[in-house]
Every structure is written in structure tokens, then in C-alpha cells.
Amino acid sequence: MRGHGQRSRHGTKATRTTSHKAIQPSNDAHHSSLRIGFGNDVHRLASGRKLILGGVHIPFELGPLGHSDGDAVAHAICDALLGAAALGDIGQHFPDTSPDWKDASSLDFLRHVAALLHMAGYALVNVDSTIELEKPRLAPFIEQMRANVADALGITVESVSVKAKSGEGIGEIGRGEAVRAEAVALISKQRL
């Protein structure tokens, strides 16, 4: 798409035909530069691990197994943001073989991903996420999760949605064996 504007300036043919504008994707200010991304994550639950979601420590007898703190919703949001920018995935940026990220707070992953996107010229528009967990009830912790994620990403809390649902007794979530999270993120290319 880049270069169409320049070419039409030189090519008289393109500027003369009225149909040109209708069939060519616009490259100017009217052209939307929004991009969407999706991410998901699952962690098995085990005893002796802290349950941390959206950077909030939730009192419970089980927590996610993982190299980092196993914060599934933070990981899903990282993947959604990286996906929106086509910058790979969380496993590439935070390999579980790397001692740098061992027992890292996943809020640091979010900070790092936000910085990567800014360097690539993107602004973060909003993120939406859902956590699936049978127990405990997450409603009392949702506002703090939103605040933590918004703070880590450097966006307003109104731009961060965190929702929670149980597994309705079905599957590995319903049996209380795992926590899962899904997220979508919208970003926009900054114009210079």
C-alpha cells in the first residue's frame, strides 16, 4: 500500500481516472491503522503455588504451575498485544529457559510488551480479557486486576476489561485443574 500516493502524483493516468480512488486502498489520513490481536493461555493448578491473576495475589490453596508466576490473564494479554503487532508470541520474548524471567512478575512482561509496541510505533487502544476459573470467585479482585494491568501497560483503567467466569463444572476448568484466560487487544499505528 505504501507508495500509492507518490505514484499517482507522477502518473497522470491514475489521477485522471475517477475509478482509481474507489478501487485503491487509501493510504492517507482516512485509512484506518487499527490492528487487532488475540491471545490465550492455560496453566495447570497445583498446591504450593500462589494464585496470581492480573498481578493480584488471591488467597487460595492452589496456584498455577509455570516458570514465571503463571499469571494466565497477563500472559493472554501479552500474546494479544504481540499478535496485534505481529511481533511473535510470549514464548519467544520470555523463554522459559531464560533465567532472566524465572519467577518474574507477569506485570513486568506486560511492561516489556508495551515498550516493544511503542518502539514499533504503536499506541495501545484497549484490551478485553476473560479468566476461566472454577474457584475461588474472582469478582472482588477484578478492579485491582484492571488497575494493575492498566498501570503496567501505561493506559487508563477504562481501556482495560477483565471478566471472569467459572467452568460450570465442565472439563479441566470445571474440575478445578486449570486456569485459562483469553484476551483481545486493539492497537493503532502512530502517525508521524
Residues of this chain that bind Zn ion (CB under 5 A): 41, 75
Closest to Zn ion by CB, 8 or 109 = 109
Please name the residue that has the C-alpha cell 492498566: 150
Helix, strand or coil for residue 130? strand
Closest to Zn ion by CB, 75 or 146 = 75
CB of 10 to Zn ion, least distance (A): 51
Give the DSSP H/E element, type plus range, for residue 38: strand 34-47
Q: How far is CA 102 from CA 3, 56, 77, 96, 122, in A?
A: 45, 18, 19, 7, 28
Closest to Zn ion by CB, 73 or 114 = 73
CB of 80 to Zn ion, least distance (A): 13
User: What backbone phi and psi angles, to 5 degrees, belong to 29?
Assistant: -60, -20
Residue with the CB atom nearest Zn ion in the bound state: 75
Closest to Zn ion by CB, 8 or 68 = 68
CB of 149 to Zn ion, least distance (A): 15
CB of 43 to Zn ion, least distance (A): 5
Kindly compute the dihedral angle of the four CA atoms of residues 156, 85, 179, 174, in this order, to the nearest 10 degrees. 100
CB of 13 to Zn ion, least distance (A): 54
Please name the residue that has the C-alpha cell 472482588: 140
Closest to Zn ion by CB, 8 or 52 = 52
Are 126 and 155 spatial neighbours (Cβ–Cβ below 8 Å)? Answer: yes
